[in-house]
Homo-oligomer: A and B are copies of this chain.
Amino acid sequence: MIIRSLRFKMVAIGKCSSIYRTSPEFDFPETSSRKLGLSKLPGKSFGFSVSSSEVKTSFIGPLRAIEASRTSHVNGKAEKFQRAGCDSNEDLPTNDCNGFAGKGVPQMSTIGNSTNIVWHKCSVEKCDREELLQQWGCVIWVTGLSGSGKSTLACALARGLHAREKLTYILDGDNVRHGLNCDLSFRAEDRAENIRRTGEVAKLFADAGVICIASLISPYRKERDACRALLAEGDFIEVFMDVPLHVCEARDPKGLYKLARAGKIKGFTGVDDPYEPPLTSEIVLRQNQGLCDSPDDLADIVISYLDKKGYLKA
């Protein structure tokens, strides 16, 4: 995996901000908001980087933006940044009884089947939590066939990052079916809903500042891309477990291929339902060349990516 990176750093105090480009190297310059001595209090400071790689042509590094109207130039292209908070101290609670429930009438909206709902903005935002955790909240979306090693990679990744004192959380496709998604079957529409909900929850974890490792077969490109689209640019890192079907089927750790071949499971990915391999994954992990990469070796590739892209610093 060869990665080129263009670096930009942004520092903001309240609504004032500045942007400058740093060296095209992996390591961050020693100018994080912490080293600059900026406050850790909510809404006071943040930094960001913009990166590009040969794996994915658009910029994929963690992106912290300021105002919807701000435009910057990345790889020669003008890019619109999306607002990611931490630029104001609006909506602080008032200190009088009448104002306890908020002043004024907030904007009402209709979202899907929900009407009369209001977005409650809070003064502690994503970047504040990231500053506290000294990491960037993101989603590592691990996709691949059943038996390709997604869950094992997720565990190795969680262990490797925990050893570096980084906070991770695994959303495992099977595990969430024990709770949040226990009402869903394996029918096509329910599998899609399983992925949608997992993507939405992963987004919440990233917003919480956590490095969320989502491990799901997620066979369809459209559904994976829909989850990617939920997050800010750079906050979604797709890891493709590129293991051939015959290898996965030979492993068959859960005995599911055998059941599928016997016709006891219908619509099983790789047997009678397609797997659409990602075209622009941030990271592709292969194990089919006779090489014997351990789970920890593969996790190290992902951790190295995160480290070099600046996800493991605030």
Contacts and interface: CB of A to CB of B under 8 A. Distances in A.
Given A149-B101, A151-B102, A254 B116 contact: yes
A199 B121 CA distance: 21
Interface in A238-272: 248, 251, 253-256, 259, 265
A75 interface: no
A19 to B, nearest CB: 27
Interface stretch (A30-38, A57-65, A173-181): A173-181
Given A95-B294, A116-B259, A133-B167, A100 B158 contact: no
A44 to B, nearest CB: 12
B183 A101 contact: no
A24 interface: no
Nearest to A248: B101
Given A120-B155, A120-B174, A183 B95 contact: no
Contact of A209 (B148, B167, B178, B207): B167
Contact of A197 (B120, B154, B180, B248): B180
A201 interface: yes
Interface in A175-223: 175, 177-186, 190, 197, 200-201, 203-205, 207-210, 215
Interface in A76-130: 91, 93-98, 100-106, 108-109, 111-120, 122-124, 128-129
B205 A111 contact: no
A165 to B, nearest CB: 6
A159 interface: yes
A168 to B, nearest CB: 7
Contacts of A100: 149, 152, 251, 287, 294-295
Contacts of A208: 167, 169, 205, 208, 210
A184 B114 contact: yes
B203 A295 contact: no
Nearest to A100: B149
Given A124-B159, A208-B208, 13 more contacts: A41-B163, A101-B147, A101-B151, A102-B152, A104-B253, A114-B181, A114-B184, A117-B178, A120-B155, A124-B158, A129-B167, A180-B201, A180-B204
What 8 A-B pairs come out closest when comparing CB atoms? A112-B182, A93-B295, A113-B185, A180-B200, A114-B177, A169-B208, A101-B253, A95-B294
